[in-house]
Chain A
């Protein structure tokens, strides 16, 4: 909320500059987000007095004003009509700079020399008003530069009012806070309302409130014979500073008093109130109602309505009706000041999506005790600005309730805060915010809460009040008494850490993508609608269609990141991402899992002067997978895949203990095309939760063998269709003395030749040649027994 400093000072003594006050407010819970200096941009404009006005000899629409500047009297040619002799006006002297850098020159207008110009508010940049010359208020001193006048200078505090502090949504409300902080007392404005003893409100309107839960207080006042016009500069200026647009003397007053006291008000055209009666009730059936912004609103049961003799005239607390709206020709006004129950207002505004300055305040709860005073204040201003006569008295319904009472103990306060605030300080702080102390006891205080504090319900709320006004900076910083206790990290945490560290070490960069994608991604990956990955968790209100559903797998995001980087000149990429994926069960219940995706494209590096690099292929990503599973202590196997987005010749399902835990391989060209990628991508995605069940994190030491190992190499011709992976397992299975089987060569001429290196190792003794020879025989026999395998001589 914007709070003009000069306005605030009307209610409370502030003995410091706005910046210092801003820090104090911030440290007491009203965060000042910024201070804006209001200073006029014009220079060389002096306050002058019109001593005489003559007709221009050659132009009917122009006059010549004689302006007393305090030093001399200058003739100024002017086209406006709103000024009279004796008025104080702003005179832009020769050389003056006005809004937008316009410089005033001495010039002849229709033969008469004008030594400057009289200015409108718009020309000075003070408002949008260009209807005539700005008639200065009496306080202005003739001969003084206008930019030095306090009326055009101010500092506006931009205060972030916490959502629970509706009582601070007014100048007086802020002043009350300032008072408690500065040890001052905010004072309500004093004014003298004159009423017309001859006419009494009760003779002209009747009032009935049918539901006092929805509307516990309602006040109606009447003023007649007014003429609506433009509000004076000071009022318009304050409205503008607070971010509101001045309209006319009636609307401006309702807004002004709302800003001043926090009480929203509504003005009806008295003559449009049918049957001269007002009835506050809840809507009992669905109905249509046109509010004054011209919108047709659908009313539902439970909305609070202000009705006249025939039907609704306002949607209570939210917006008036078009049918009772005041206009430029309105002469008699009925003014409403009321308290509406926040719960009702919130329900209606949420449903209709209407937000107004009035509903904002009603929603948070206003001061029910201030309803009558605000009506008096507003009718006073209407009378002052629009003339007319204020009728005597008012119509009022007021259902009074007892003040909230609380008991707080001193140990409540100091125990929760970790402080030793004295009883004296506590009572002083509470009194400063209008909390009444009913009883001061040994243990604590019995207090009553003023009606404007809707946020105080229980002792903790009082602790907050005391702590913020005592000062958070005065509360010590301590070490908790509660004992520290170590806790072993869960297997999940450790495994996720292992994953991240592994990929980092393997040269992969971590991605974080939004957990949303679009249904299009499923289509792009050719995944059939019956697949689990097509059972999307949809978002009712997504930010865009591209992010319409929660992702069911991570690969599309990784692919998009690859495409993004390729488009920016990168070619060789290694990425991984871990994150949640989301599905909808058959019963329509969402569930989530964690997945890990990694991908590589291009080659290790673009070049190194000494070496040549080859492009990544299946065995690079397979190696990454082997390393990862090794880090988890998990064994896995590959199976022919049916994943529609993988090249079936270069892809596989990943099985852990026979359970499918993911996939690995080269992405199909037609999938890549949809993401506008033209180079091969090798990618894998794992269901982390399945792997987590098999993870072996505990390391068990095995002794280092004391005896030498023996190495033997074997070469076989192996038919293309015989999977070599199976053969290494077979060799290893020959004897526990075989500790390692590696493939150190593979080439193809007519037949495929594969060379194995086998390491034999005993933990008990040195292996003899005979033992190794015997095992060698067995290996050769086992392998050559298989169709399509023969020993290479």
Chain B
């Protein structure tokens, strides 16, 4: 056994290493199961007993040195190789990225969802009613008798004798009160219909109705709830005012105005130079409405409110033509 030959063979292998691949090959040919060192270690058996120990130690020491040297070479060529790979991986990162497919909810739905979120957080639950409604629920039960002047304010689509497309979501109030006892705390979002079609009217639009009935519900509570809604919907510093108005099914009635978001209150076309925009109709439930649903109006009180989803969305997004919501133009829908 000639350690010198081993030394030569190892040195030759190591010195021929030029790449990381050479390192890997050398690892196999030197240190592998059938490598040079294995061969020499195997051959130790052939030596005399007395020589075995010394040769073994010498080969082992040699092997350790070789291993260490190979690690060095591996690190060096590994690093070099990595750099090359990285360099080769160059791409033009200014090329456009691939967007995932993403759709959008209609802006009215987004606005409505937000309104529902706010009112449910204030303890209201959602109620529904039919779009095709009995004239009784749409009018009479809400204290709007057949010849009442308030019917002049609404242009109703008629379906049959006594059946209409609901002109507001208020009939849901009646349906809910007829089916349960107080306390009642609901909102009723939905589609409503009026015979109107121009830049500020569509024959179908959306409203959210609200109703809270219990012992000791006060006008001041109405102010409290609607103030919280306005602040959540339009921002904490949104100015708002309550002003007397008229609805047949509330008494007293109040219109809620918010400071014009377009001009900031200095006056513009949107707010008709008043600095205020009307957004909510509201009031204390009229005693006649309670009598109509069989509630004891001496015992309980309540407030109701209603607002147009389109109007809120128009204010929220700065849209000036209500019909935009119904063209379903993708260039419109994709903006929200």
* CB of B203 to closest CB in A, whole Å: 5
- Assess whether A609 is in contact with B216, with CB atoms less than 8 Å apart: no
Contact of A482 with B217 at beta-carbon distance under 8 Å, contacts A33-B272, A516-B203 already known: yes
Q: Does A61 sit at the interface, judged by CB under 8 A?
A: no
- Assess whether A515 is in contact with B123, with CB atoms less than 8 Å apart: no
- Assess whether B220 is in contact with A580, with CB atoms less than 8 Å apart: no
Query: Chain A residues with Cβ under 8 A from B172's Cβ?
Result: none
Q: Does A590 sit at the interface, judged by CB under 8 A?
A: yes
* Binary contact track A560-577/B, C-beta < 8 Å → 1, others 0: 010011001010011110
Query: Chain A residues with Cβ under 8 A from B266's Cβ?
Result: none
Q: Does B317 sit at the interface, judged by CB under 8 A?
A: no
Query: Chain B residues with Cβ under 8 A from A547's Cβ?
Result: 203
Those of B176-230 within 8 Å (CB) of chain A:
183, 185, 191, 193, 195-197, 202-204, 212, 214-221, 223-225, 227
Q: Does A475 sit at the interface, judged by CB under 8 A?
A: yes
From A233-241, A486-494, A715-723, A765-773, the one touching the partner chain is A486-494
Query: Chain A residues with Cβ under 8 A from B245's Cβ?
Result: 29, 31, 162
A463 CB contact (under 8 Å) in B101, B108, B150, B251: B251
- Assess whether A514 is in contact with B287, with CB atoms less than 8 Å apart: no
* Binary contact track A460-490/B, C-beta < 8 Å → 1, others 0: 1101100110001101111111101111011
B100 to chain A: closest residue by CB = A507
* CB of A294 to closest CB in B, whole Å: 26
- Assess whether B126 is in contact with A493, with CB atoms less than 8 Å apart: yes
A573 CB contact (under 8 Å) in B203, B252, B327, B330: B330
- The interface centre, meaning the residue of A500, A505, A543 with most chain B CB atoms within 10 A of its CB, is A543
A464 CB contact (under 8 Å) in B106, B243, B244, B333: B244
- Assess whether B220 is in contact with A476, with CB atoms less than 8 Å apart: yes
From B26-34, B61-69, B158-166, the one touching the partner chain is B158-166
Q: Does B301 sit at the interface, judged by CB under 8 A?
A: yes
From A9-17, A280-288, A343-351, the one touching the partner chain is A343-351
Contact of A165 with B103 at beta-carbon distance under 8 Å, contacts A418-B220, A482-B185, A592-B131 already known: no
From A381-389, A534-542, A725-733, the one touching the partner chain is A534-542
Contact of A503 with B203 at beta-carbon distance under 8 Å, contacts A163-B246, A416-B218, A468-B244 already known: no
B103 CB contact (under 8 Å) in A164, A464, A510, A540: A510
What separation, in Å, do the CA atoms of A472 and B197 have in the docked complex? 34
Q: How many residues of chain A get a CB closer than 8 Å to chain B's CBs?
A: 91
What separation, in Å, do the CA atoms of A537 and B204 have in the docked complex? 16
Those of B252-284 within 8 Å (CB) of chain A:
252-255, 272-273, 284
* Binary contact track A336-368/B, C-beta < 8 Å → 1, others 0: 000000010011001000000000000110000
What separation, in Å, do the CA atoms of A484 and B183 have in the docked complex? 10
What separation, in Å, do the CA atoms of A59 and B123 have in the docked complex? 88
What separation, in Å, do the CA atoms of A162 and B248 have in the docked complex? 10
Q: Does A511 sit at the interface, judged by CB under 8 A?
A: yes
Contact of A473 with B242 at beta-carbon distance under 8 Å, contacts A415-B218, A482-B214, A510-B106 already known: yes
Closest 10 CB pairs of A and B: A418-B220, A507-B101, A29-B244, A418-B218, A162-B246, A484-B123, A464-B252, A468-B244, A477-B223, A482-B214
Q: What are 18 sample pairs from A and B whose C-beta atoms fall under 8 A apart?
A: A31-B255, A163-B153, A165-B246, A416-B301, A472-B241, A472-B243, A475-B219, A475-B242, A478-B221, A479-B221, A480-B214, A480-B218, A504-B105, A543-B197, A550-B165, A590-B132, A592-B132, A611-B98
Q: Hey, which bits of chain B sit against chain A, CB under 8 A?
A: 95-96, 98, 100-106, 108-109, 122-123, 125-126, 128, 130-132, 147, 149-150, 152-153, 157-160, 163, 165, 183, 185, 191, 193, 195-197, 202-204, 212, 214-221, 223-225, 227, 241-246, 248, 251-255, 272-273, 284, 286-287, 301, 325-331, 333-334
Q: Hey, which bits of chain A sit against chain B, CB under 8 A?
A: 26-29, 31, 33-34, 162-165, 343, 346-347, 350, 363-364, 415-419, 458, 460-461, 463-464, 467-468, 472-473, 475-482, 484-487, 489-490, 492-493, 500, 503-516, 537-543, 547, 550, 561, 564-565, 568, 570, 573-576, 579-580, 582, 588, 590, 592, 604, 608-611
